[in-house]
Amino acid sequence: MNALLKIGKYLFALPLLGFVYGHFTSADAMAGMVPIPGGAIWVYLTGLAMLAFIVSVFVGKFDKLAGTLLGIMILIFALGLHLPNLMGGDQNSMGMLIKDLMIAGGAFMYAGAYARDNSVIG
């Protein structure tokens, strides 16, 4: 059972590669979703931030910091982008809001309970 639980961090990090891929291959298309100036630059930076988290998990360095920062970033997406869109009547934003809240929660759980680099935060 412990062996199964130990692969959980990889099962959390690896699917994020899909988001990283999308951010780097479709930045111009995604830029329209960015509510602040800079468009595609922010899409690339957020893709890079997700990639940094994945690398941190696999390397085991700065993973507490990376998990915390990933959770904050994704929570900002959920509350600053998807929630206002949902409140504005865009029902498609409900799935995005739920997905982002789950990812943020997972990132915070990972950082709080499983990250090995305890010297960075707390």
Distance of CA 115 to the CA centre of its chain: 16
CA–CA gap between residue 66 and residue 118 (Å, rounded):
12
Is position 15 within any domain?
yes
Judge whether 120 lies within some domain: no
Domain that holds residue 103: 2-114
User: Residue 5: its pLDDT value, please?
Assistant: 81
pLDDT tens for each residue of 4-30? 888 999 999 999 999 999 999 999 999
**Please, which residues have CB within 8 angstroms of residue 53's CB and are 6 or more apart in sequence?**
13, 16, 63, 66, 67, 69, 70, 107
Q: Is residue 121 in some structural domain? A: no
Domain-embedded: residue 19? yes
Please, are residues 60 and 116 in contact by the beta-carbon 8 Å criterion?
yes
Report whether pLDDT(93) > 50. yes
Hey, what amino acid is at 93?
Answer: S
Give the number of domains in the chain.
1
Can you give the pTM of this predicted structure? 0.88
Q: Does 122 score more than 60 pLDDT? A: no
**Backbone dihedral angles phi then psi of residue 6, each to the nearest 5 degrees:** -70, -25
Residue 122 resides in a domain: no
Residue 19 near residue 50 (C-beta atoms within 8 A): yes
